[in-house]
């Protein structure tokens, strides 16, 4: 019995020492950050910006890998099944952690149990835009046009199950109109067709859309958030525009596979936080219309749980689901 207890104690000690050692020399090779969208969109751009800051602080290359598809769930599933060694991370979004659990009937991961949340880094307002050729200037005018041509108007999204898609579906249910969904593999791929007017309606990240709105290439109908966005105060909220009670905020979060050793988690959280608190990072995020955030892993985990519960209830109430 004594020998067994000593053996167990030695095993625990070895595990603790191993974890400490892995944190002391971590990282000693390149780190990969999976972005579950195609290159060129808002999530991809901000991840590459943060990756550069992490490289400077960690002394190793930080590589961004785009793994798009199925509303971010393909990339997320790959990360959830990766080794928890700190060398595979993900920039997950509200699509990954909040929308997917309530939308997909057979989701292959649990948003809380199958990841190690590291830090919530940004909340991201979205804005609904239309091509000027559509001839509408407000949400109510868009709804009226769509009702005259039920199912004929096209709206774009960054993929089935993405927040771009879900926000539009929720809005259509609230306002009682229909449009035809045209899914793409990422926000970056959408813009060319929206600007050209091939798919004239889109709800997307406010940051990349702001210069297109200012140049007159696209027309803003309303922002998805409960309050107006500071960088485009002239644009009403969708709630103000007629969709009473509409309030949706996207967000970005660093996460790792489950069971990431605590010392490595602490180091990543501290390093990301150090970069996010720099004036350079804050100014960059705000210039994209994003609100930079920092916090603890426990706060990030609680945020995922609360948002997943909220959106699961919303989607269930509206009867929205994907096989």
- Residues 254-307 have pLDDT tens digits of 999 999 999 999 999 999 999 999 999 999 998 887 889 999 999 999 999 999
Q: Tell me: pLDDT of 24 over 90.
A: no
pTM above 0.85, yes or no: no
Residue 236 binned pLDDT confidence (cut-offs 50, 70, 90): very high
Q: How far apart are CA 27 and CA 23, in angstroms?
A: 8
For the segment 216-225, the average pLDDT, to the nearest whole number, is 97
Position 58 scores a pLDDT of: 98
Lowest mean pLDDT among 48-52, 112-116, 117-121, 248-252: 248-252
Lowest mean pLDDT among 27-31, 73-77, 314-318: 314-318
Could you say which architecture CATH assigns to the domain 29-123+249-318? 3-Layer(aba) Sandwich (3.40)
- Cβ(276)–Cβ(270) under 8 Å? no
Q: Tell me: pLDDT of 148 over 50.
A: yes
**Residue 297 DSSP SS3:** helix
Residue 6 binned pLDDT confidence (cut-offs 50, 70, 90): low
| pLDDT (tens digit per residue) in 287-300 | 887 889 999 999 99
Q: Tell me: pLDDT of 249 over 90.
A: no
Scan for tokens 């067994």, then name that residue: 4
Residue 16 binned pLDDT confidence (cut-offs 50, 70, 90): very low
The H or E element containing residue 58 is helix 42-58
Q: Beta strand pairing status for 201-205 and 154-157? A: parallel
For the segment 235-260, the average pLDDT, to the nearest whole number, is 96
Domains 29-123+249-318 and 126-241 share a fold: yes
- Cβ(61)–Cβ(53) under 8 Å? no
Six-digit token string for 40:
């060129």
CATH code at 126-241: 3.40.190.10
Q: Tell me: pLDDT of 3 over 70.
A: no
Q: How far apart are CA 72 and CA 83, in angstroms?
A: 19
Q: How far apart are CA 4 and CA 96, in angstroms?
A: 44
Q: How far apart are CA 208 and CA 227, in angstroms?
A: 19
Give residue limits of the domains in the chain: 29-123+249-318, 126-241
């Amino acid at each position: 019995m004594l020998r067994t207890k000593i053996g167990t104690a030695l095993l625990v000690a070895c595990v603790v020492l191993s974890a400490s050692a892995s944190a002391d020399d971590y990282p000693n090779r390149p780190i990969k950050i999976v972005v579950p969208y195609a290159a060129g969109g808002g999530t991809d751009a901000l991840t590459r910006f943060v990756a550069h800051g992490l490289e400077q602080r960690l002394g190793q290359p930080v590589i961004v890998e785009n793994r798009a598809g199925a509303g971010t769930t393909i990339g997320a599933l790959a990360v959830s099944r990766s080794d928890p060694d700190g060398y595979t991370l993900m920039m997950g979004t509200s699509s990954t952690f909040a929308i997917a659990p309530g939308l997909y009937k057979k989701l292959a991961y649990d948003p809380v149990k199958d990841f190690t949340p590291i830090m919530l880094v940004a909340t991201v307002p979205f804005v609904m835009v239309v091509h000027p050729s559509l001839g509408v200037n407000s949400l109510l005018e868009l709804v009226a046009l769509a009702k005259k041509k039920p199912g004929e108007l096209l709206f774009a999204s960054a993929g089935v199950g993405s927040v771009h898609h879900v926000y539009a579906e929720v809005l259509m249910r609230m306002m009682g109109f229909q449009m035809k969904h045209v899914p793409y593999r990422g926000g970056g791929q959408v813009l060319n067709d929206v600007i050209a007017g091939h798919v004239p309606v889109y709800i997307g990240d406010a940051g990349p859309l702001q210069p297109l709105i200012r140049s007159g290439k696209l027309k803003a109908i309303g922002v998805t958030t409960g309050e107006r966005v500071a960088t485009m105060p002239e644009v009403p909220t969708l709630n103000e525009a007629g969709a009473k009670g509409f309030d949706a905020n996207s967000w970005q979060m660093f996460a790792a596979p489950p069971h990431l050793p605590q010392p490595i988690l602490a180091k990543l959280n501290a390093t990301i936080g150090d970069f996010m608190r720099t004036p350079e990072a804050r100014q960059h995020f705000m210039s994209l219309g994003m609100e930079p955030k920092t916090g603890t892993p426990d706060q990030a985990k609680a945020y995922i749980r609360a948002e997943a519960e909220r959106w699961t209830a919303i989607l269930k109430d509206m009867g929205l689901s994907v096989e």
